Amino acid sequence: ALKENTGLRSLQLNGNDIGNEGCIKLCEGLGARTEKINNLDLGNNSIGPEAGPAIRDYLAKDDALTHLNLYMNELANDGCAAISEALRDNKKIELLDIGGNNIGAYGAQKLAEALRDNTALVTLELGYNPIGPPGGKALAETVKFHGKINAIRMGWCKIGKEGGFAFADAIKYSSSLAVLDLRGNDLGDDGCAALAQSLAVVNEVLTNLDLGYNEIKDKGAFALAQAIKNNAEGSLSTLSMNNNYLTKFGEVALTEAVELVEEMSPGRELYVQF
């Protein structure tokens, strides 16, 4: 049916348990169409690494797809590596969601390598994948110099403070990264302080930073507060600190920093969420 249809532009099949066999057949059908779709959602469908090559081959044929959602499957490292091969030369996909796919460091490293040659991707959702510090470092290195990535969401990816250090370095160089979600990565005060140091000296692009659920205490909050004060004209507009270990002293320090910045830079709005 898909091969003969010429009007379909968006296909949403999330939550249907199509499995590997269904995904492979679907990719074959989509790849054979003369009229391509621009949005494909296959989230939560029990798709494993065996379907990775079929998705890769389909992506190589499709020159129209801009949004690809594969969240909550089981692609794992091999599936991610296969898809990454197609992303290297892809010129259309702007949003890729592969959150919750049990992707580890190897898969993240392959993805990072591919994205260094990719000039189209704007938003990457990678949350709930255990990529660890090595995966975090690899992606941060790509974000440094990738000219298009605007938003990267990596909540609960186990990147630790080492991953935090890498992203602190990345935001010094990135000319496009506006949204950075690092929730639940055990950054602690050290990772938070590293990010704060970067925000204090250079921050012309980043507008939204989410550091919730990172076991950050007052020491980290004080570092962020000082960074905000030191860069009153920075671009940051939303800082999320939900579910950390801040006392009233840490919260007051951040609140006072925001008030000072808004007083020094009329027209600037900065919201801190606790």
- Take residue 254 and report the two structure tokens written for it: 């951040």
Label residue 26 by pLDDT band (50, 70, 90). Answer: very high
Number of helices (H) and strands (E) in the chain: give both, helices first: 9, 10
User: Does residue 203 carry a pLDDT above 90?
Assistant: no
pLDDT tens string 143-202 = 998 768 999 999 999 999 999 999 999 999 999 999 999 999 999 999 999 999 999 987
Question: Residue type at 149?
Answer: I
Distances (CA, A) of 255 to 167, 200, 250, 271: 25, 16, 9, 9
User: Does residue 5 carry a pLDDT above 80?
Assistant: no
Per DSSP (E only), the strands in 35-192 are 39-41, 67-69, 95-97, 123-125, 151-153, 179-181
User: Does residue 231 carry a pLDDT above 90?
Assistant: yes
Write out the DSSP string of 88-127.
Answer: TT-SS--EEE--SS---HHHHHHHHHHHTS-S---EEE--
Lowest mean pLDDT, pick from 42-51, 157-166, 258-267: 258-267
Specify whether the CB–CB gap between 44 and 73 falls below 8 A. yes
Give dist(CA 184, CA 201) in Å, integer. 25
Distances (CA, A) of 270 to 108, 148, 257, 258, 262: 32, 25, 10, 6, 7
Any residues with CB less than 8 A from the CB of 241 and at least 6 apart, and which?
211, 212, 216, 221, 224, 254, 272, 273, 274
Angle at 95 between CA 212 and CA 113, to 5 degrees: 85
pLDDT tens string 129-154 = 999 999 999 999 999 987 689 999 99
pTM, two decimal places = 0.96
Label residue 126 by pLDDT band (50, 70, 90). Answer: very high
When pLDDT is averaged across residues 23-27 and rounded to a whole number, the result is 97
Mean pLDDT estimate for the chain = 95
User: Does residue 23 carry a pLDDT above 90?
Assistant: yes
For residue 2, the model assigns a pLDDT of 75
Strand partners, 152: 124, 180
